Amino acid sequence: MTRKYRVVIPPSVTKDLREIVAFYYETNQPYSQRIFNSLIERISELEVFPEKGRVVPELQAHNIETYRELIEEPYRIIYKILNEEVLLLSVIDVRRNVEEVLIRKLQRR
Q: Which CATH number characterizes residue 71's domain?
A: 3.30.2310.20
- Please check whether residue 91 lies inside any domain of the structure: yes
Which residues have a Cβ under 8 Å from the Cβ of 93 and sit 6 or more positions away?
A: 20, 74, 75
pLDDT band at 104 (very low <50, low <70, confident <90, very high): confident
Q: If you average pLDDT over residues 34-39, what whole number do you get?
A: 96
- Please check whether residue 1 lies inside any domain of the structure: no
- Please check whether residue 82 lies inside any domain of the structure: yes
Question: In this predicted model, what pLDDT tens digit does every residue of 44-94 receive, in sequence order?
Answer: 999 999 999 999 998 888 888 999 999 999 999 999 999 999 999 999 988
Q: Give how many domains the chain has, as a whole number.
A: 1
Say if residue 102's pLDDT is above 80: no
- Please check whether residue 96 lies inside any domain of the structure: yes
Residue 82 to residue 19: CA distance in whole angstroms: 26
Residue 68 to residue 56: CA distance in whole angstroms: 5
Q: What is the pTM of this model?
A: 0.86
- Please check whether residue 24 lies inside any domain of the structure: yes
- Please check whether residue 50 lies inside any domain of the structure: yes
Q: If you average pLDDT over residues 35-42, what whole number do you get?
A: 96
- The whole domain housing 15 covers 6-108
